[in-house]
C-alpha cells in the first residue's frame, strides 16, 4: 500500500486516495531544550521518523497512510527555563487536534493517528482530552499510543523505561540515525551521565527540568548513543503506532 506526505501532493491526488482505507498521521512534538548537544527541534525529528516507520508498517497491513506536517507547538513547561523553548497552552493543542479530526471526518478518512515524541504531562493530557472529545463527538478514531504507559513503554529501551531519557541515549541515538548533522558530537561525547529519572521527579511533584536535576536539560547517558540503537528505536516506535491503529480499528469494527 502507499505512503503519502500531504504537503508534497496536489489536491487531485488527495481526492483520488481511497479515504476509507487511509490513516492520517500527524507527527507531534515540542520546540524545547534537549541538552547542549541536540537541537530544539529534536522532537520533530523523532515524531516524523515514527510517523514514517508507522506508515510503512500500516502499509504492510493493507492500509494507506497520509502524513501531515508536524505540529511543533505544545505545552512544554518543564523546559520553560531554557532559551528557545516555546510553550503554549495544552487547551490550544486539544482544540487543534479536534479541528483536524472534524475536518478529516468530513473528508471520510479512516482514522487520525498521533505520532507523539513529547512527554510533558500537560501535553499528554491535551492529547488524551482530544481523544475523549473526538470519541464523544462521533468523529473518526483519534488514536494516540501513550509510550509512557504499558504496553507500549515495555517495547522501548532500558534507558527510556528508567525515566532518565530526555536527550539521553534514547533520543540521541535516534538523532544520530535520522539527522546526525544536527548532533553536536564534540559536546555529546563528553557529557557525563545524568541518571536522575524525570519520571520519578514528576511523580514527586517536580514541575521543571531544574527541579528534576536536569540543569543542562538532559537526562540519561547521551555519550553512549549509537545510530544502531536509534534505528531500532525508530522501528519500535513505528510498530507501536501501527499496532495501536490496528487495535483501535479492530475494536471499532475492523480495519
CATH number at residue 98: 3.40.50.10310
Q: For the chain, give the percent of residues with pLDDT over 90.
A: 96
For 85-130, the pLDDT digits (tens) are 999 999 999 999 999 999 999 999 999 999 999 999 999 999 999 9
- CA-to-CA distance for 26 and 144, rounded, in angstroms? 10
- Residue 227: Cβ-neighbour burial (10 angstroms; 0-12, 13-18, 19+): middle
Q: Give, in degrees to the nearest 5, the angle at Cα 162 between 38 and 208.
A: 60
Q: For the chain, give the percent of residues with pLDDT over 70.
A: 98
For 165-196, the pLDDT digits (tens) are 999 999 999 999 999 999 999 999 999 999 99
> Residue 195: what pLDDT?
97
For 63-72, the pLDDT digits (tens) are 999 999 999 9
Q: Given pLDDT bands bounded at 50, 70 and 90, which one contains residue 141?
A: very high
Whether the predicted pLDDT of 20 surpasses 60: yes
> Residue 251: what pLDDT?
81
Q: Given pLDDT bands bounded at 50, 70 and 90, which one contains residue 1?
A: low
> Domain of 186?
3-251
Say how many Å lie between the first and final Cα of the chain, rounded.
Answer: 14
**What three-state secondary structure class fits 206?**
coil
Q: In the predicted model, what is the mean pLDDT of the chain?
A: 96
Count of domains in the chain?
1
Whether the predicted pLDDT of 254 surpasses 60: no
Amino acid at each position: 500500500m502507499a505512503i503519502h506526505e500531504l504537503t508534497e501532493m496536489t489536491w487531485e491526488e488527495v481526492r483520488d486516495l481511497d479515504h476509507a482505507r487511509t490513516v492520517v498521521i500527524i507527527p507531534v512534538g515540542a520546540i524545547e531544550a534537549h541538552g547542549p548537544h541536540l537541537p530544539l527541534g529534536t522532537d520533530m525529528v523523532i515524531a516524523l521518523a515514527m510517523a514514517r516507520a508507522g506508515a510503512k508498517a500500516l502499509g504492510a497491513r493493507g492500509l494507506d497512510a497520509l502524513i501531515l506536517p508536524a505540529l511543533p507547538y505544545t505545552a512544554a513547561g518543564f523546559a520553560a527555563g531554557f532559551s528557545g523553548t516555546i510553550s503554549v497552552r495544552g487547551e490550544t493543542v486539544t482544540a487543534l487536534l479536534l479541528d483536524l479530526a472534524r475536518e478529516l471526518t468530513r473528508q471520510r478518512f479512516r482514522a487520525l493517528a498521533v505520532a507523539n515524541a513529547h512527554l510533558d504531562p500537560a501535553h499528554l493530557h491535551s492529547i488524551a482530552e482530544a481523544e475523549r472529545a473526538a470519541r464523544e463527538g462521533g468523529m473518526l478514531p483519534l488514536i494516540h499510543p501513550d509510550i509512557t504507559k504499558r504496553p507500549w513503554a515495555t517495547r522501548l529501551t532500558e534507558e527510556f523505561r528508567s525515566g532518565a531519557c530526555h536527550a539521553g541515549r534514547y533520543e540521541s541515538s535516534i538523532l544520530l540515525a535520522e539527522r546526525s548533522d544536527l548532533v553536536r558530537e564534540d559536546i555529546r561525547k563528553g557529557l557525563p551521565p545524568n541518571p536522575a529519572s524525570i519520571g520519578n521527579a514528576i511523580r514527586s511533584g517536580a514541575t521543571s527540568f531544574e527541579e528534576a536535576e536536569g540543569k543542562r536539560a538532559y537526562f540519561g547517558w547521551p555519550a553512549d548513543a549509537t545510530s544502531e540503537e536509534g534505528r531500532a528505536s525508530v522501528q519500535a516506535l513505528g510498530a507501536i503506532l501501527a499496532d495501536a491503529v490496528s487495535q483501535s480499528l479492530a475494536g471499532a469494527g475492523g480495519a
